[in-house]
Structure 1
Amino acid sequence: MPELPEVETTCRGIGRVLTGRIASGCIVRNAAMRLPVPPDLSGRVAGRRLEAVERRAKYLLLRFGDGIVIVHLGMSGSLRVVPADAPPGPHDHVDIVFGAEALRLRDPRRFGLVVWHEGEPATHPLLASLGVEPLGADFDGEWLFAATRGASTPIKLFLMNAHRVVGVGNIYASESLFRARIHPLTPAGQLGRPRCARLATTVRETLVAAIAAGGSTLRDFVGGDGRAGYFQQQYFVYGRDGESCRVCGATIRRALVGQRSTFWCPRCQRR
């Protein structure tokens, strides 16, 4: 699933190309997404200027004046700028057209969504209960220490809880915990201030590095410019079970935690 770096990469890529452009309409080839694409979406966006492209958690927000198109890429979706007359593939479900170019959503599994919302994004039910942004000013060691008091859930699952912290999915939680030298099964409430400060820093550093690398290429993901990310070449633990740790040489281990594969180094990461 595209995580925060992949969505941020897409956000920046399409923002550079389309911000300030006026939409001429919308083509919906398949409205049966996770939520139905509004039948009047074309009329909603036609003639409106795209004022900004923003990200909230793993959602893309396309601001058209007092209305917003909210997009989620689902499990394997991508959003890219293509020539408006480029022939669509079988999984190209929605185009928002800007003259000679179009913003095209490709989603093989149709777990993504494209919806219209008027008003501030935080008032939409999809966004109302989301947690703190890990790249925002509110996320630091003190916030993490206060938020984890009394929490018995493993710290990896805490980081992946979107009601607590948004956008830190399986890959980047695993990589951040390795960089912080914290075992992923450590109960969140057992982390003291020093380890919380270190973890908040490594979460930010890992996400920033992934964004700089264009995210990770997972299945069909590519950025808004159609290029694949390459952060997977920098993984320390994710997907490397049975291989040697790049730091100490110990064998990387894997277990299921919360129904998700979890990877760690038994020597570098202690509870």
Structure 2
Amino acid sequence: MKKNITCLLFVLFVTTLFTGCNNSNNTFQNDNDTLNNAVTIEHTKKVKKIFYNVPSPIEMANVLHESGVQYKPEILISFKAVDKYVNVPKQALILGVYGSDLSYVRLFDQIQQSINYLSSIKKLTEDLNIPEEQGSFAVSRLENNMNNRDSLLQIVTETYSSANAYLKENERGNTATLIILGGWIEALYISTNIVDFDNPKNKQVINRIAEQKYSLSNLIELIKGYPNDKELKEYLPLMNKLHNEFSLVDIKYEKRDVVTDENKKLTTINSIVTINISKSTFEEIKKTITEIRNKIIIY
């Protein structure tokens, strides 16, 4: 059976953020509402740019299948650690981390672990004062769909969508950004720790990691959009360091044929992407990702 799953590089949150963006418009607005919507729209644009280079779930599933990477549960943060995070910024970061961990365990059909992570995520949404109707993970629904991967992931996506929309509508975009940061870093931490740079089979996964140089630039801009947030500010030096390391990744796009579908009135420009990343650059990126991740998960 085809693995139609949430991919390693945080696809779970892509759907979340795109869907959440479209739920913040009201028919009647005052000046403050208009200003808030303008801020939300700008936040949304930056988020979309972050995930522009994230591969589709099916594509990433195929890539991971071909690479033959093995399940390594020891690299994940334990779902049992949820009670150790007691302040809002940490809880938001760990909510993002757990989202990526959940994607990873579900990829390898670890059903019970998926439920465990979902329970911890539900607790964090409650700790972050996201209302039940906005952040409920409907554990009973999950239990009834444990063996139905598509249904389970749909429930997860709906929950993150509602939670993220709620945060933005209530002027808590900084909290939403912390969730994005935690999830993005964890996704790269997982991916850099399950591949072997010298293994030719892992080349496609490494290329997907390399392509995140563009997402990183936009994530940094998103963080800078909250200059008064102390927690986000603390991550900028390390994120800039990571940006410098990613700048050594060379990505070239060579345009090929242009295909036009007259019926759909759609024109597609095909291109070939050439990615060059040295082992030393990859190791430096991996090292800095680990450093940021360690800062995130410390109690």
Structure number having the greater helix percentage: 2
Greater length-normalized contact order (CA 8 Å, ≥ 6 residues apart): 2
Task: Return the TM-score normalized by structure 2.
Answer: 0.25
Task: Return the TM-score normalized by structure 1.
Answer: 0.27
Structure number having the greater strand percentage: 1
